[in-house]
Amino acid sequence: MHHGGGGGAIRVLNVAEKPSVAKSVAEILSRPSGGMRSREGRSRYNRVFEFDYSIGGRACHMLVTSVTGHLMELEFDDRFRRWHSCDPADLFHAPVRKSVPQDKQDIKRTLEEEARKCQWLVLWLDCDREGENIAYEVIDICAGANSRLNIWRARFSALIDREIHEAVQHLDRPNKLFADAVDARQEIDLRIGASFTRFQTMLLKDAFVLDDTGDDRNIILSYGPCQFPTLGFIVERFWEIQAHEPEEFWTINCSHTSDEGTASFGWIRGHLFDYSSAVVIYEMCVEEPMATVQNVRNQEKLKYPPYPLSTIELQKRASRYFRMSSEHTMKVAEELYQAGFISYPRTETDNFSPNTDLHSIVHEQVAHPNWGTYAQRLLDPEARLWRNPSNGGHDDKAHPPIHPTKFSAGETNWTDNHKKLYELVVRHFLACCSQPAVGAETTVEIDIAGEQFNASGRVVLAKNYLDVYRFDSWGGTLLPTYIIGQQFVPTTLTLDSGMTRPPPLLAEADLLGIGTDATMHDHIKKLLDRCYATKDANTRFSPTNLGEALVMGYDEMGYELWKPYLRSMMEADMKSVSIGTKSKSEVLENCLQQMKACFLDARANKVKLFDAMGTFFARSSRPVNETQNSIETVRPCAACNESEMFLKQRPTGEFMVGCRGFPQCRNVVWLPRSLSGAAVTDQVCPTCAPGPVYKIQFKFRRRDIPPNFDVDHLGCIGGCDDILKELMELSRFGSHSQTATPARNQSQTASGVRQGSSRQDLHTSFHPAVQFTNGQTPVVNPQGFRSTHTQSSGNASGQVQCTSCREPCVLRTANTEANRGRKFYKCQNLACGFFAWEDDVENSAPRGRGGRGRGGRSSSRQSSASASAGRRGGTQGRGRRGRGRNADGMMFVAATGEPVYGSCFICGDPTHFANVCPNLGR
């Protein structure tokens, strides 16, 4: 290591990952010189320690402070952080940034102020990928304040004098590849987690009554790339248990008692499921019960000690031996590490380096009252108990296996769990340095009437590592002496029955064994916090209805997002980044492209999630303004040119495509009520503009459309799809008796169906829609109302009567530029919304598309369109007058190319809405 030239003491800023680690490092390094001083930084939790020290013979003035884990957070830009600000699919490519959150600004200021006065920066972060990533966050802050800093990395695995002094005298450079690997993982997890979480939550939360989560309306249905596969293991085992059908079986057992003891012999066949066959064989044995010894095998058996202790193995064994949760195990282990009693507890390594002085570690335990005698025997060459630890085959290149670093007979501030975990670490370390246990095993095979039986017995000759590792046992029974050819009559010979049993629920130790992720305990805790799973007193897990429904929904889609394969591939890519065989950008591009395709397919098949949720939960009856379903972008809004149009299903079941800028922009397209489903696809219309305009997969109800049309149609609402236009008009007209929106004084069921509707009406209503000639398309009521308004709608005095309310209309004058001075009739009941131009009522002459001349059915339907459109109120769309306008002047064309109906509720003019009415405020 080159320290650089120049005279005088070097000011060195040392930064640790936690305040407790900073204090330990400062105390260890300051002992030779003494005189350590402490002062507060900008953050009262992160103090600054000062003392003099010598690095490589160079005088240094050391300043030691700390961060508290990650200093920065990765997040989306502000415009994408609100849940309804964008399509969740946009989160796969939305801009992200890393910044210091508000609660850590004081730590940032401390680093900046101290860095400006220093020449060196030494990073004491944990020596794994995560620690390296935090190191580069610190570098970013400090180098921003002082670009001349000489940056070094201290590598250590235990907070003990030997390791700390060794680390500071052999400083290294930070590893950017490790930091890049974590950056890639963070970005992948953020994008995948945020997109799927928003999708699931907005789609399902308010649509169902989630009794698993209580009455919490703020529940988040989260999705995590690690958390969800963990849930998948629980659900898969639960399904295996549910699918298990107990089956009765039969087996033959016999025993023989002599002066030396009793031997129990088991049937070589194990068991039979056919009762008759089992009875026949049993009767043969009863008729000829003489047993003949055919073989006696005696052999030496070895039981090997465990591999050195990794994080996953520590969690599994603490769960199995002490019933400690993985989360609590890691909390206690971190406290023991920070106090200097064990090495760094987050490691995947299960083999010791040849340079590790194992004997010194053992020697520190000789004074312990419980295992000190064993440690002394282990160091005694004459006892021949020592054996170098086996290689488990895993090495994360960052930390050694977990081992004791300082002797303790139990500290006064330790809890029982601290004592248990420290004991486990010490005994495990002593065991893995020991000889295996030695036993003698005897197997006796006998024959009864041609059927084979055997019995086994074992005696432990040398316990070796079992003397110290009290958590392991190696039991066995001692058999009587038998010789080949010996004959005897069994003491008992029975035909026993039993039932096959399902596999057990997964225990926490089982879940911890599914991977090598040292943060597995976090995934398990999230499953419990999110109400996806429950854990009983024996630490065995069961999925909740919510957890099972989510896994079932994705499983029905055919995408195994709940399986560990995708995450395994991601972890392999992260490792490739850390060793430099793949770039961060390459991994991000490939992984996010794959997962976005999964997301789009999942969204297109969201009905599977709905069906799965419907299996477990009742549908919600929450008010409209409290229900928010999934948002799927269809196209840019051409009305406001600032936002996007999105597909949404209302709680009543209706589909609409509206602008996200509502209420500032009221551009909307109401889709026909004959739809049973609609989903935005990733297919873009090549002709419609402004684009992109994404096509929608429509599903119509068969009863509401003519038989010559398919119920499934991939269509575009941009105006280019003639089939969709015809289907929309036919379905609107044909489904009137079921889906018409009644006036406020009419009775209506919760689903929006008018009382008294009959299925016969639905079928007979098709006749006018399909009996057209000359290829003409009729002008139909867009909501399916059958109008009774004709040329003779007025009363005897010539007053026009509202066709719905049967009340006289008022005559008003339009005040817009296009229709200034033109008169129209308007119902006095604002909730009704009947509207008709005066000259149209007088002439009854249709002038729009599809007209058949003066008078007749077309005119009647056009007037009906005016009346029924008014019932929808004036908030259906901003619109503008354009092509295809009817003779009554009330049809407008939205940005989608479809007509939009409505009128101003202040003056009744259909060419504008109330928010821009010239009569507003008069």
Q: Which residues have a Cβ under 8 Å from the Cβ of 154 and sit 6 or more positions away?
A: 14, 122, 123, 124, 167, 168, 171, 172
Q: Which of 503-507, 874-878, 900-904 has the lowest mean pLDDT?
A: 874-878
Mean pLDDT on 110-131: 94
pLDDT, tens digit, 9 for 90 and up, residues 44-70: 899 999 999 999 989 999 999 999 999
Confidence of residue 918 (pLDDT cuts 50, 70, 90): low
Mean pLDDT on 527-532: 89
- Are 643 and 494 members of one domain? no
| DSSP letter, residue 261 | E
Residues of the chain above pLDDT 90, percent: 46
How many Cβ atoms sit within 10 Å of the Cβ of residue 922? 8
Predicted pLDDT of residue 272: 96
Q: pLDDT averaged over the chain?
A: 79
Predicted pLDDT of residue 842: 60
CATH number at residue 331: 1.10.290.10
Predicted pLDDT of residue 543: 94
CATH number at residue 49: 3.40.50.140
- Are 215 and 293 members of one domain? no
Pairwise pLDDT comparison (640 vs 780), residue with the higher score: 640
In 244-289, which residue ranges form alpha helices assigned H by DSSP? 275-287
Confidence of residue 841 (pLDDT cuts 50, 70, 90): low
Predicted pLDDT of residue 557: 83
Rounded to whole angstroms, the Cα distance separating 560 from 562 reads 5
Pairwise pLDDT comparison (859 vs 363), residue with the higher score: 363
Which residues of 406-481 form beta strands (DSSP E)?
437-448, 451-462
Confidence of residue 735 (pLDDT cuts 50, 70, 90): very low
Which residues lie across from 446 on neighbouring strands? 293, 453
First-to-last alpha carbon distance for the chain, in angstroms, is 84
Final residue in a domain of this structure, among 462, 480, 499:
499
- Are 606 and 668 members of one domain? no
Whether the per-residue pLDDT at 589 is higher than 70: the answer is yes
- Are 41 and 143 members of one domain? yes
Closest alpha carbon to 213 in 530, 665, 597: 530
- Residue 661 phi, psi (nearest 5): -80, 5
Closest alpha carbon to 282 in 490, 26, 69: 490
Predicted pLDDT of residue 660: 76
pTM of the full structure: 0.64
Q: Work out the burial of residue 74: count CB atoms within 10 Å of its CB; fewer than 13 is exposed, 13-18 middle, 19 or more buried.
A: middle
Pairwise pLDDT comparison (55 vs 219), residue with the higher score: 55
| DSSP letter, residue 666 | -
Confidence of residue 22 (pLDDT cuts 50, 70, 90): very high
Q: Is the distance from CB of 341 to CB of 404 less than 8 angstroms?
A: yes
Rounded to whole angstroms, the Cα distance separating 318 from 311 reads 11
Final residue in a domain of this structure, among 393, 414, 435:
435
Alpha carbon of 169 to those of 7, 30, 53, 104, 304: distances in Å?
Answer: 19, 14, 11, 31, 39
- Are 289 and 330 members of one domain? no
- Residue 801 phi, psi (nearest 5): -105, 140
Whether the per-residue pLDDT at 604 is higher than 90: the answer is no
Predicted pLDDT of residue 790: 31
- Residue 759 phi, psi (nearest 5): -65, -25
Mean pLDDT on 329-346: 93
Radius of gyration of the chain (CA): 39
Instruction: Identify the helix (H) or strand (E) that includes residue 586.
Output: helix 584-604
Q: Residue 582 is encoded by which pair of tokens?
A: 């793949």
Whether the per-residue pLDDT at 125 is higher than 60: the answer is yes
Final residue in a domain of this structure, among 125, 146, 174:
174
Choose, from 223, 282, 344, 532, the residue flagged as catalytic: 344
Predicted pLDDT of residue 382: 93
User: Quick one: how far is CA 243 from the chain centroid?
Assistant: 26
Q: Which of 228-242, 460-474, 501-515 has the lowest mean pLDDT?
A: 501-515
Q: Which residues have a Cβ under 8 Å from the Cβ of 802 and sit 6 or more positions away?
A: 808, 809, 827, 828, 829, 832, 834, 867
Closest alpha carbon to 328 in 337, 315, 340, 317: 315
- Are 492 and 471 members of one domain? yes
- Are 141 and 208 members of one domain? no
Asked whether residue 886 is domain-assigned, the answer is: no
SS3 (DSSP) at 695:
strand
- Are 228 and 365 members of one domain? no
Mean pLDDT on 341-347: 92
Whether the per-residue pLDDT at 369 is higher than 50: the answer is yes
Rounded to whole angstroms, the Cα distance separating 612 from 589 reads 32
Number of compact structural domains in the chain: 5
Asked whether residue 761 is domain-assigned, the answer is: no
Asked whether residue 898 is domain-assigned, the answer is: no
Predicted pLDDT of residue 11: 96
Mean pLDDT on 139-146: 96
| DSSP letter, residue 43 | S
pLDDT, tens digit, 9 for 90 and up, residues 429-471: 999 999 999 999 999 999 999 999 999 999 899 999 999 999 9
- Are 97 and 204 members of one domain? no
Asked whether residue 274 is domain-assigned, the answer is: yes
Which residues span the domain enclosing 110? 10-174
Q: Which residues have a Cβ under 8 Å from the Cβ of 415 and sit 6 or more positions away?
A: 332
Alpha carbon of 744 to those of 741, 747, 748: distances in Å?
Answer: 9, 8, 9
Predicted pLDDT of residue 496: 95
Alpha carbon of 230 to those of 191, 380, 544, 595: distances in Å?
Answer: 19, 46, 14, 18
Asked whether residue 475 is domain-assigned, the answer is: yes
Predicted pLDDT of residue 880: 31
Residues of the chain above pLDDT 70, percent: 77
pLDDT, tens digit, 9 for 90 and up, residues 242-277: 999 999 999 999 999 998 889 999 999 999 999 999
Asked whether residue 234 is domain-assigned, the answer is: yes
- What residue type is assigned to position 169 of the chain? Q
Asked whether residue 835 is domain-assigned, the answer is: no
Whether the per-residue pLDDT at 291 is higher than 60: the answer is yes
Predicted pLDDT of residue 621: 67
Q: Which of 15-29, 94-108, 120-134, 594-608 has the lowest mean pLDDT?
A: 594-608
Closest alpha carbon to 445 in 456, 431, 434: 456
- What residue type is assigned to position 828 of the chain? Q
Whether the per-residue pLDDT at 901 is higher than 90: the answer is no
Whether the per-residue pLDDT at 278 is higher than 80: the answer is yes
Rounded to whole angstroms, the Cα distance separating 126 from 17 reads 7
Pairwise pLDDT comparison (359 vs 875), residue with the higher score: 359
Rounded to whole angstroms, the Cα distance separating 586 from 570 reads 12
Mean pLDDT on 88-92: 92
Rounded to whole angstroms, the Cα distance separating 475 from 232 reads 36
Please report where in the chains the tokens 């897990």 appear, as a residue.
Answer: 541
Cis amide leading into 663 (omega within 30):
yes
Whether the per-residue pLDDT at 682 is higher than 80: the answer is no
Confidence of residue 603 (pLDDT cuts 50, 70, 90): confident
Pairwise pLDDT comparison (786 vs 324), residue with the higher score: 324
Alpha carbon of 797 to those of 743, 793, 808: distances in Å?
Answer: 26, 11, 11
- Are 167 and 41 members of one domain? yes
**How does DSSP assign 529-543, residue by residue?**
HTTSEEE-TTSBEEE
Whether the per-residue pLDDT at 810 is higher than 60: the answer is yes
Instruction: Identify the helix (H) or strand (E) that includes residue 609.
Output: helix 606-616
CATH number at residue 449: 2.70.20.10
Asked whether residue 656 is domain-assigned, the answer is: yes
Mean pLDDT on 544-549: 93
Closest alpha carbon to 895 in 712, 703, 642: 642
Predicted pLDDT of residue 916: 55
Predicted pLDDT of residue 836: 76
Q: Is the distance from CB of 591 to CB of 573 less than 8 angstroms?
A: yes
- Are 344 and 321 members of one domain? yes
- Are 161 and 255 members of one domain? no
Whether the per-residue pLDDT at 874 is higher than 60: the answer is no
pLDDT, tens digit, 9 for 90 and up, residues 177-193: 999 999 999 999 999 99
Predicted pLDDT of residue 811: 81
Mean pLDDT on 84-89: 84
Rounded to whole angstroms, the Cα distance separating 186 from 153 reads 23
Pairwise pLDDT comparison (843 vs 750), residue with the higher score: 843
How many Cβ atoms sit within 10 Å of the Cβ of residue 426? 25
Asked if 344 is an active-site residue, the reply is yes
Predicted pLDDT of residue 307: 95
Predicted pLDDT of residue 852: 33
Whether the per-residue pLDDT at 857 is higher than 70: the answer is no
Mean pLDDT on 801-829: 72
